[in-house]
Amino acid sequence: MLIDYHMHTPLCRHAEGEPEAYARRAIERGIHEIGFSDHAPMPPHYDPDWRMTIEQFPEYVESVLRVRAEVPQLSIKLGLEADYFPGTEDFVYNVTNEFDFDYIIGSVHYIDDWGFDNAENKARFEKADLYEIYAQYFDRVRRLAETKLFDILGHPDLVKKFGHRPSRPIDDLVIPALEAVRRAGMALDLNTSGLRYPCREIYPSRRFLELARELDVPVTLGADAHRPEHVGEGFPEAVALLRSVGYSTIRRYSARKAESVPLG
């Protein structure tokens, strides 16, 4: 089975195309199930230009339910990509329980006040020790998992997005994060959008995935589409990577309950 669980809608203000066009693209690409996972509302001052407002939240849910009716031949899940940021846990808990979501992706997009995945802010990678930045990022990932608010860890090594990589191995940073992910019963979002960015690599890296396989951490698949043509992009590479590391199943979700299905 092929799924794409990570795609956005125009409500987040930086994605284009009607949700129906994403669903049609999925069918063209031979994908069996999709899920929308637009950027969740966050507290008022948290990154408001990059997400729907709390007032638009019901509109988002309705738009996903509408595509379900418009494209009945495709299985369409209702998901959400929520941020992990210390201090917003109660808000995120309320938002993620307001509607009957099939799954919640949890993502780290900020290290303190630094939106590190925004190209406008990438100069900071040149100024600081990369190993230290990665340590901070993976510490956030560990804490994300420990909240138990999320089902799936979004783009697990997003910190590499612009191609900045420490010269030292990072296994000792990744393993505690992965162990927390496993304890929380979460899956990884094998996210092909890294192929579109300067890191030119799927999230997470092969090494990360090898460690995940050893710890028996499951995966989902997503292209993080912000326009219809992104849906299912890079999936042949993603499936090949997963198989080469020893994965033969992926996870799907309904009403926040996971099930393993054969990959491909």
Residues that bind Zn ion (CB under 5 A): 154, 224
DSSP-based three-state secondary structure for 30: coil
The residue within the footprint of Fe ion, chosen from 9, 107, 136, 192 (CB under 5 A), is 107
4 part of the interface to Fe ion, by CB under 5 A: no
Residues 34-73 as x/- pattern, contact with Fe ion by CB under 5 A = ----------------------------------------
CB under 5 A: which stretch of 57-65, 169-177, 204-212, 221-229 binds Fe ion? 221-229
**Which residue's Cβ has the minimum distance to Fe ion?**
107
- Considering CB under 5 A, how many residues would be counted as binding Fe ion? 3
| Residue with smaller CB distance to Fe ion, 115 or 264 | 115
State the minimum distance, in angstroms, from the CB of residue 87 to Fe ion.
Answer: 19
The two three-digit tokens of residue 4, written as one number: 């794409």
- Residue 254 to residue 235: CA distance in whole angstroms: 22
Strand-pairing partners, residue 125, are none
The half-sphere exposure of 48 on its side-chain side, counting CA atoms within 13 A, is 7
Residue tagged 């339910």 (tokens): 65
Distance CA 81, CA 155 (A): 11
Residues 4 and 221: beta-carbon distance below 8 Å:
yes
- Residues 6 or more apart whose CB falls under 8 angstroms from that of 50 comprise 12, 13, 14, 39
Nearer to Zn ion, 132 or 151 (CB): 151
The CB-of-38 to Zn ion minimum distance in angstroms stands at 8
Q: Is 157 in the site for Fe ion (CB under 5 A)?
A: no
From candidates 224, 233, 234, 250, binder to Fe ion by CB under 5 A? 224
Q: Which is nearer to Fe ion, 37 or 136 (CB)?
A: 37
Determine the Cα–Cα distance for residues 152 and 101; give it in Å rounded to an integer: 13
Q: Identify which of residues 81 and 233 has a Cβ nearer to Fe ion in the complex.
A: 81
Name the binder of 156 from Fe ion, Zn ion, none, CB < 5-8 A by kind.
Answer: none
Task: Provide the minimum distance between the beta carbon of 224 and Zn ion in the complex, in angstroms, as a whole number.
Answer: 5
CA gyration radius, the chain:
17
Query: 204, 145, 218: which is closest to 177 by C-alpha?
Result: 145
Among the residue ranges 24-32, 71-79, 84-92, 104-112, the one whose residues contact Fe ion (CB under 5 A): 104-112
Residue 228's binding partner out of Zn ion, Fe ion, none, with CB under 5 to 8 Å set by partner kind? none
Q: At what angle do helices 206-214 and 235-245 cross, to 10 degrees?
A: 50
Query: Does 220 sit near Fe ion (CB under 5 A)?
Result: no
For residue 140, what are its two tokens? 């956030």
Those residues whose C-beta lies under 8 Å from the C-beta of residue 171, and which sit 6 or more positions away, are 207, 211
Residues that bind Fe ion in the complex, under the rule CB under 5 A: 81, 107, 224
